Amino acid sequence: MSVATAKPVSQDARVLSYAGALLETMDAALASHPGVFIMGQGVDDFKGIFGSTTGLAEKYGAARVFDVPLMEEGMTGIAIGAALVGDYPITTHIRADFSFLAMNQIINLAAKYRYMFGGLMSCPMLIRIVVGRSWGQGAQHSQSPQATFAHYPGLTVVMPSSSQAILDIYPAIINRHPGPVISIEHRLLYNLDFTVSPSDKRVPLTSYVAREGSDVTVVATSVMVLEALRAAQYVQDEAGISAEIVDLNSISHPDWDLVAASLAKTGRLVIAENRREQVGRRELAMEDGLTPDGGRQGHRDAIG
């Protein structure tokens, strides 16, 4: 499936799937940094985490791309130890629910080292977590824990919504980010094709405007950004409504000033994301924190 872009396409543009962008960034990280290694259930099999690690074990060897047993806590502990001595581990959880078994390591250790040692130690690592519904997932294989992880200081949580976002933010994370990053990848994005192109204006490690508009602000995350863009085009064509789409992107470090400026312009807010409404931290933050500082009091709705 192809996702059309509404922006002008440069001569250097190409079509790249979400899984393809992940594979390119994983390959580039392994090629550029001898201390990078990838581990997780299924990273070295022929499916390669939905195609995002396919062939890397053969290319770089079993010492750098390797499968692990059912040992999420142990795997994360190994990754933390490696990060502390200068390597860069990339761990994968093919189901988000599996990461719950590593919560102690992620929250009490990886997220806390920099603080507990006064900035003298850091724990740079990337934890890839797959969320979203698919065939036969059931109650224990389809949860969306992004709000849980974003709640804890010391963790950076991103939800890239396109191949371009992967190409822009993953190298920035691996090359420069000093702490643990959790990337929430929606399974429905993997087989989608996107138009990508090199640009001086890269997707930032925070929120950004995915589509400019004037009548309503839609704040979305992950796959819901695509749904919001599709809906925005529809209401533009059918009713002349101009929707501005803000991709929150980093739910642990969102750009609330950007959201507030958009809301001040449009006076209307729609929130589109996959989560339980009762525990969505972004909706509460928007409701409580945006309008007092000049954002107009307007209509607010949530879709999820």
Please provide the DSSP assignment of the chain as one string: -EE--SSPPPTT-EEEEHHHHHHHHHHHHHHH-TTEEEEETTTTSSSHHHHTSTTHHHHH-TTTEE---S-HHHHHHHHHHHHHTT-EEEEEESSGGGGGGGHIIIIIIITTHHHHTTTS----EEEEEEES--TT--TTS----HHHHHTSTT-EEE---SHHHHHHHHHHHHHH--SEEEEEEEGGGTT-EEEE---SSPPPSS-EEEE--SSEEEEE-THHHHHHHHHHHHHHHHH---EEEEE--BSSS--HHHHHHHHHHHSEEEEE-SS-GGG-HHHHHHHHHTGGGTPPP-EEEEE-
16-196 and 208-303, same CATH topology:
yes
Active site residues: 72, 141
Sheet of 299-303, strands arranged across: 208-211, 243-247, 216-220, 268-272, 299-303
Low-confidence ranges of the chain (pLDDT < 50): 4-6, 279-281, 284, 292-296
Where do the domains of the chain lie?
Answer: 16-196, 208-303
Give this prediction's pTM: 0.89
pLDDT for residue 286? 53
pLDDT for residue 201? 82
Per CATH, is 16-196 categorized as 3.40.50.970?
yes
As a CATH number, domain 208-303 is 3.40.50.920
